[in-house]
Structure 1
Amino acid sequence: MATPAAFVQAGDREVRVSSPDRVIYEATERTPEVTKLMVAQYFADVGDPLMQALRDRPTALERWPSGVREGFKLATGPQDKDAEAFYQKRIAKGAPDFVEAVEITFPSGRKASEICPTEIAVPVWCAHMGTLTFHPWPTRRSDVDRPDELRIDLDPQPGTSFADAVRVAGAARELLADLGIRGFAKTSGNRGVHVFVRIRPDWEFVDVRHAAIAFGRELEKRDDGVTTAWWKEERGSRIFVDYNQNCRDRTMASAYSLRPLPGAPVSTPVTWEELAELDDPRGFNLVTVPQRLAEQPDPWAEIDEVAHDLTALLDLWEQHPVELNYPPDYPKMPGEPPRVQPSKKVAEHWDTDGNRVDT
């Protein structure tokens, strides 16, 4: 006999959650078994700060309808048709009336209507649909083509640790301060660190991406444990600044999103002082984060108070305007280097513009 649906109070609405007893996360040494109803209630409990991250932003959903188990896979393309989890970039048919959408344009030029959260009932309903992680665009519905965020993804590579990411984040904070910019840090929910900067929506995606490249290059000068190398074989044991997270339709887990890892970890905003002392981000999880917010202010409460100018970073880009590789599913972009691993590149097969030459 099926378990009756449950209801979660989300703002002024009661949101129905089917199969509330379905186990989404198995118990670990530090966390209990987590059900679908607990996921929905978690999103309701962190409502205001979660909505600060999502409100009015086109948002892709990372759905794990069968829960998180060892060996389960997240689909990243047609080849993964049998995967247990997937990204949803279009609003689902039959969504409730309170779930709004906004039209976005993919790099291919195709368009789609993507969920655009406007109230906390939307993330709670998304939990009913098996969503664990929200991937908001760095734009608002008022102008989906001009970002209002610069996103700095500090991604540990093999041979590096969370401690290395923390060290590099400290250097990133100092660099931002030297540029007159205030950044806000959060754990990725895994081993990385994310730094977000609110910016004026005066630039297009390509400009913000160039600003991220310039930032990464300056960070490389300050810490030899940093790299902007796109090809994994060139990164070594360093922290990769993933500048391509600032491309159109490239998104990062929002603040207060759950991550599909044992223990229901949360991508959690922290103060810079907390980050410097943090040795295990797994302590921020579905169980502990609501209590944390009940006891202390949200570290990102002031993130919307200043929208920064990107001119200083774009000036740095102009000092060395050498393009780097785009993601593989992008159309070939102007000035982009050849899309071939350096170890496999044969010089005479490519022209100076990075186009393949038949020989």
Structure 2
Amino acid sequence: MNHTVPTGVATTVEGHRLSLTHLDKPLWPDGWTKGQALHYYARIADVMLPHVRRRPASFLRFPDGVGAQTFYVKTPPPGTPNWVPRADVPSRTEGTKPHVTVDDVASLIALGNLGCLEVHVPQWTAPHPELHDLLVVDLDPGPGTSIVQCARVALAVRALLAHDGLACAVKTSGSKGLHLYAPLRPSPAGRVGAYARSLARALSGALPDRVTATMAKAARTGKVFVDWSQNNTAKTTVAPYSLRAGPFPAVSAPVGWAEVESCERPEELVFTPQQVLDRVERYGDLLGGLLDPVLAGPLP
């Protein structure tokens, strides 16, 4: 992880000329700047890019900071260099539209330079939206619960997936919840969605006092919501190692199962960019198994 972002305005990244602007602008309430965000992405790119490459990306764009106006961006934002890769994504209502794919360091920095600092990707790679190669189980804590309760439910999810022959890895959402991923042999989107929904229902049936699979927010108080809809082809999930637009710079960070098992306080599963960089230096990519085709399982 030896990429760096120079402090000057004009630079070259992987042979592409970029003009980096407003590097000293604070984007988070604690004063963390755009330049620091770009520097983090340059350093984390080696482990982040394999998880987002060829996946049509959407972004939360906040060019004037977390507290200012934000934009959820699906199509390439104005100013996107023409060399940034693109993929056509079908829409039920708007036909086919181009999305960018963050395939290299230069693209990651170019989009970050435009304020696209929170990266979201689907569970499939272009050009095959009909085939998903990841199953995601999104655990979202309802009122009165926290990531601690999500960690307890995550262990039950892991057991159910293992029973069905699926290995899984886990990361924080970078906000309040957890995301579990199981690598799949490319499978029809409808089958993946149906399996995710049945998994959520099985969990809520087995743990009715702790889990709900119901979308209605009124049903979530005191429970962990298992959001199976994240497996819809049109949905995206915040990418591994992405920054989050919260009250301070946090990261959607891979964690080990021992950390999930021992979690007793929410702050134990909250990580800053520097902590994530340090963790990668120490542990490597804790989601690396998702990239190993040998570990990709068939849907049961």
The structure number with the bigger radius of gyration is 1
Distance 1:10 1:188, change over 3 A: farther
Q: CA deviation at 1:308?
A: 1.6
In the TM superposition, what are the counterparts of 1:215-226 in structure 2 within 5 Å? 215-224=199-208, 225-226=210-211
- Paired residue for 2:277? 290
Structure with the larger RCO, 1 or 2 (CA within 8 Å, 6+ apart) = 2
Q: From the two aligned structures, give the one with the greater strand fraction.
A: 2
Deviation at 1:235, TM superposition (A): 3.1
Say which SS state the counterpart of residue 123 (structure 1) adopts: helix
Superposition deviation, residue 290 in structure 1: 1.2
Q: What residue is the counterpart of 1:36 in the other structure?
A: 34
Task: Give runs of aligned pairs for residues 64-79 of structure 1, distance below 5 A.
Answer: 64-69=62-67, 72=68
In structure 1, stretches of 5+ residues that fail to align are 28-32, 73-83, 313-359
Query: 1-side partners of 2:25 and 2:283: how far apart?
Result: 31
Select 2:22's aligned residue among 19, 23, 28: 19
CA drift at 1:233: 2.1
TM-score if structure 2 supplies the norm length? 0.90
C-alpha RMSD of matched pairs (Å): 1.9
Distance 1:68 1:94 in 2: 21
| Partner of residue 3, structure 2 | none
Q: Give the Å deviation of 1:87.
A: 1.1
Cα displacement (A) at 1:26: 2.5
Q: Please list the CA deviations of residues 87-132 of structure 1 after superposition, one character each: whole Å capped at 9, or x if unmatched.
A: 1111234422330100001232522000012212111111101122
SS at match of 1:118: coil
- Contact kept in structure 2, 1:154 and 1:193, CA below 8 Å: yes
Aligned residue type for 2:296: A
Answer yes or no: is 1:308 the counterpart of 2:297: yes
Match of 2:51 in 1: 53
2-structure distance, mates of 1:182, 1:218: 18
AA aligned opposite 2:283: Q
Is residue 2:157 matched to residue 1:172? Answer: yes
CA contact (8 A) 2:85 2:103 kept: yes
Residues in 2 aligned to 1:200 and 1:169: alpha-carbon distance in whole angstroms: 22
- Cα distance in structure 2, aligned partners of 1:257 and 1:248: 20
TM (norm. structure 1) is: 0.76
1 CA distance for matches of 2:242 and 2:130? 24
- Three-state SS of the structure 2 residue aligned to 1:261 is coil
8 Å contact from structure 2 (residues 87, 127) kept in 1: no
Instruction: After TM superposition, give the deviation of residue 295 of structure 1 in Å.
Output: 2.2
C-alpha distance in 2, partners of 1:9/1:239? Answer: 46
Map 1:215-294; keep pairs closer than 5 Å: 215-224=199-208, 225-278=210-263, 279=265, 280-281=267-268, 283-294=270-281
Contact 1:106 1:248 in 2 (8 A): no
Which residue in the other structure is 2:140 paired with? 155
SS in 2 for 1:200: strand
**Which shifted more, 272-281 or 127-136?**
272-281
Assess, with a 3 A threshold, how the Cα gap between structure 1 residues 292 and 43 changes in structure 2: closer, same or farther. same
Q: Secondary structure at the match of 2:103?
A: coil
Q: CA deviation at 1:7?
A: 5.3
SS at match of 2:27: strand
* 2:90 corresponds to 1:105: yes
| Separation in 1, partners of 2:275, 2:241 | 12
Match of 2:4 in 1: none
Q: Aligned pairs, how many? A: 289
* Counterpart-to-counterpart distance in 1, 2:120 and 2:195: 21
Distance in 1 (CA, whole Å) between partners of 2:34 and 2:52 is: 21
CA contact (8 A) 1:150 1:246 kept: yes
The match for 2:186 is 201
